[in-house]
Chain A
Amino acid sequence: MYTASDLRKGLKVQIDGAPYIVIDFEFSKPGKGQSLYRCKMRNMITGNQLVQTYRSNDKFDEAGLEESTMQYLYNQGDEFHFMNTETYDQIMLTAEQIGDNIHFLLDNMEVEMLFFNDQAIDISLPIFVDLAVTQADPWVKGDTSGTDTKPVTLETGYELQVPPFVEEGDRLQIDTRTGAYVTRVKE
């Protein structure tokens, strides 16, 4: 059980039977008045945002979330199949539930899966993943167009801007939080 004074950015609580994460938080207290805890929260299942002001005595249940390490197996159209690495249970998530992570997901990759009341609601990938470049325009030496990046396509189909020296077949480290190029990986 949490009280309003525990609220802070990143805290996960349960409201009306749904898990919420606090994404913005401000403490206020008008002169001689009560402590007020003003929160912006995101429903971790629907993504809907909620803005609420709480008082010191307000209480919250913990979000009751659990995490398990899962291995990504394969997809069939919109259905993405994972296996629990300890129990070998298999679980399916839809493309919508996987969201932008879809761009960085490779067969056999280990991910952390988030469960609310035994229901899988989200996955988180390693912060950095290495992916191969499947398509890149050659680097034209002496190119004076002044651009210092070029578009390439990765093995997952994801397209991004990278430095001009990147070539087809290179492996790149990508930051899965931002989707940005980090560095070229030496084999």
Chain B
Amino acid sequence: MINLQRLHTRAAFFRVLRSFFYQHDFLEADTPVRQPVLIPETNIQPPASEDWLLQASPELCMKRLLALGAERIFQICPCFRRGERGRLHSEEFLMLEWYRREADYHQLMRDCEELIRTVSRGLPETDCFAGIDLSGRWPQLTVAEAFGRFSPVPLEQALEDDSFDEVLVEYIEPQLGLQQPCFLCDYPAEMASLARRSPADLQVAERFELYIRGVEVANGFSELADAQEQRQRFTQEIEHIKAQWGRRAAMPEQFLAALPAMGEAAGIALGVDRLLMLALNKTALEDVQTFSAEDL
């Protein structure tokens, strides 16, 4: 369990995060954590709350706020994912999400660099992110390049024999962000989820993950604003969920109806506890959380 000094550090951390977004003219949003319809995602199990579900991310509501005309919004909120427990996972965790209209994923990478440098300077601890060089632009590595450099099998083969996740966890992630934070970007289009495909190469999605010390910290992308393509992807995902888990997931109709009004936009989700863990040079979420599951 947390001690009093760590509580002060956490509070300072939240102040730094919020003041960063205030300074950059973002509006703080709050949206319901309990909703009747979530993003259909095969690999995420949302906990039920009576007939509704606890959110895995505030993404749907945040994008509806963009569609209403909000320019820049952020939110720090609890998210829930059933069965995810480990050194870097917790069934309830804090997510920071921010969204910008008229922006793409490159802008989000610049935001990450500036935000994390601000965190490093703003915390009372003096040795934040020890051994990691946060200065300048951080390296970008495409998923294809990362497979070429670190994987024993080429990307195409990993996709074909359905071993992408295993290779990523085993061979690639441990190599990322060791000296400097690193953006792993341009995911295969089939892993786009809610990201826009790259106009320059329809085989990849404009999506990136930020890695520091081998730990995935944030997932950002240029948003897909095409409601028809989004509906097709959701339909596929709903079928996958039915096939794999026997669960009937609903189509987020209100979200799809709002999507065309959003226009070009980019958004990102960042694991707040993971970032604090890395800032304080810790190796497990329970080292920085107020209460772990075992304390309750």
- For chain A, residues 32 to 59, give those with C-beta under 8 angstroms from any C-beta of chain B: 32-36, 38, 53, 56-57
Interface residues on A, range: 10 to 19
A28 an interface residue at 8 Å Cβ cutoff?
A: yes
Q: Which of A27, A28, A34, A38 contacts B43 (CB 8 A)?
A: A34
Do B85 and A27 have beta carbons less than 8 Å apart? Answer: yes
Report 8 cross-chain contacts, Cβ distance below 8 Å, ordered by A residue.
A27-B89, A30-B173, A30-B216, A31-B219, A32-B191, A33-B164, A33-B168, A35-B84
- For chain B, residues 145 to 183, give those with C-beta under 8 angstroms from any C-beta of chain A: 164-166, 168-170, 173
A interface majority secondary structure: loop
- For chain B, residues 190 to 238, give those with C-beta under 8 angstroms from any C-beta of chain A: 191, 193, 209, 216, 219
Do B166 and A32 have beta carbons less than 8 Å apart? Answer: no
Do A26 and B86 have beta carbons less than 8 Å apart? Answer: yes
A170 CB to closest chain B CB, in angstroms?
41
- A28-B168 Cα distance, complex, nearest whole Å: 11
The 3 closest A-B pairs by CB, nearest first: A27-B86, A33-B165, A31-B219
Query: Residues of B contacting A57 with CB < 8 Å?
Result: 244
Query: Residues of B contacting A186 with CB < 8 Å?
Result: none
B88 an interface residue at 8 Å Cβ cutoff?
A: yes
Do B87 and A30 have beta carbons less than 8 Å apart? Answer: no
A141 an interface residue at 8 Å Cβ cutoff?
A: no
A5 an interface residue at 8 Å Cβ cutoff?
A: yes
B124 an interface residue at 8 Å Cβ cutoff?
A: no
Quick one: closest B residue to A8, CB to CB?
B85
Do B84 and A30 have beta carbons less than 8 Å apart? Answer: no
Interface residues on B, range: 20 to 34
Query: Residues of A contacting B209 with CB < 8 Å?
Result: 30-31
Query: Residues of B contacting A27 with CB < 8 Å?
Result: 84-89
A60 CB to closest chain B CB, in angstroms?
16
Do A35 and B87 have beta carbons less than 8 Å apart? Answer: no
Query: Residues of A contacting B168 with CB < 8 Å?
Result: 30, 33
Do B84 and A31 have beta carbons less than 8 Å apart? Answer: no
- A5-B82 Cα distance, complex, nearest whole Å: 11
Query: Residues of B contacting A35 with CB < 8 Å?
Result: 43, 83-84
Known contacts A5-B83, A35-B43, A38-B169; is A28 also within 8 Å of B164 by CB?
no
B264 an interface residue at 8 Å Cβ cutoff?
A: no
Query: Residues of A contacting B43 with CB < 8 Å?
Result: 29, 32-35
- A32-B43 Cα distance, complex, nearest whole Å: 7
- For chain A, residues 1 to 21, give those with C-beta under 8 angstroms from any C-beta of chain B: 5
Do B169 and A53 have beta carbons less than 8 Å apart? Answer: yes
Q: Which of A32, A34, A38 contacts B193 (CB 8 A)?
A: A32
- A39-B181 Cα distance, complex, nearest whole Å: 28
Do B169 and A36 have beta carbons less than 8 Å apart? Answer: yes
Query: Residues of A contacting B111 with CB < 8 Å?
Result: none
Known contacts A29-B43, A53-B170; is A34 also within 8 Å of B165 by CB?
yes
Quick one: closest B residue to A51, CB to CB?
B170
Do B173 and A26 have beta carbons less than 8 Å apart? Answer: no
B212 CB to closest chain A CB, in angstroms?
14
- For chain A, residues 135 to 166, give those with C-beta under 8 angstroms from any C-beta of chain B: none
B41 an interface residue at 8 Å Cβ cutoff?
A: yes
Query: Residues of A contacting B83 with CB < 8 Å?
Result: 5, 35, 56
B73 CB to closest chain A CB, in angstroms?
22
Query: Residues of A contacting B86 with CB < 8 Å?
Result: 26-28
Do A28 and B219 have beta carbons less than 8 Å apart? Answer: no
Query: Residues of B contacting A36 with CB < 8 Å?
Result: 165-166, 169
- A53-B173 Cα distance, complex, nearest whole Å: 15
Q: Which of B85, B170, B219 contacts A32 (CB 8 A)?
A: B219
A63 CB to closest chain B CB, in angstroms?
23
Do B244 and A30 have beta carbons less than 8 Å apart? Answer: no
Query: Residues of A contacting B85 with CB < 8 Å?
Result: 27
Query: Residues of B contacting A56 with CB < 8 Å?
Result: 83
Query: Residues of B contacting A5 with CB < 8 Å?
Result: 83
Query: Residues of A contacting B173 with CB < 8 Å?
Result: 30
